[in-house]
């Protein structure tokens, strides 16, 4: 499955789009596999108690989704991490 990352996540993956080996049922399955392959992204996506950060956006085929939403196998997932500044 292709995962496109933005912002500081790119420094952890080394590229904008990566392949994650997963056969997902839900969006959460994709994020779990992504974090397993790129453990440095955990702190940018999750809080200390393993909840997704409120400012993180996950999109599938340009539609905002929640972690327990279904994830079709041939989708493109985009991750927008929490951003600081202002």
Q: What is the reported pLDDT for 74?
A: 84
What is the rounded average pLDDT of the residues 1-26?
Answer: 93
Q: Is the pLDDT at 84 greater than 70, yes or no?
A: no
> Residue by residue, what is the 3-state secondary structure of the chain?
CEEEECCCHHHHHCCCEEECCCCCCEHHHHHHHHHHHCHHHHHHHECCCCCECCCCEEEECCEECCCCCECCCCCEEEEECCCCCC
Which domains does the chain show, CATH number per domain? 2-80 (3.10.20.30)
Entry pTM: 0.89
Q: Is the pLDDT at 82 greater than 80, yes or no?
A: no
Q: What is the pLDDT of residues 33-76, one digit of tens each?
A: 999 999 999 999 999 998 999 889 999 998 999 999 999 988 89
């Amino acid at each position: 499955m292709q995962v496109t990352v933005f912002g500081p996540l790119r420094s952890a993956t080394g590229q904008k789009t990566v392949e994650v080996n997963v056969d997902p049922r839900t969006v959460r399955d994709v994020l779990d596999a992504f974090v397993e392959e790129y453990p440095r992204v955990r702190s940018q996506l999750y809080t200390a108690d393993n909840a997704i950060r409120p400012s993180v956006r996950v999109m599938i085929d340009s539609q905002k989704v929640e972690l327990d939403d279904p994830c079709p196998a041939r989708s493109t997932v985009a991750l927008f991490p929490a951003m600081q500044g202002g």
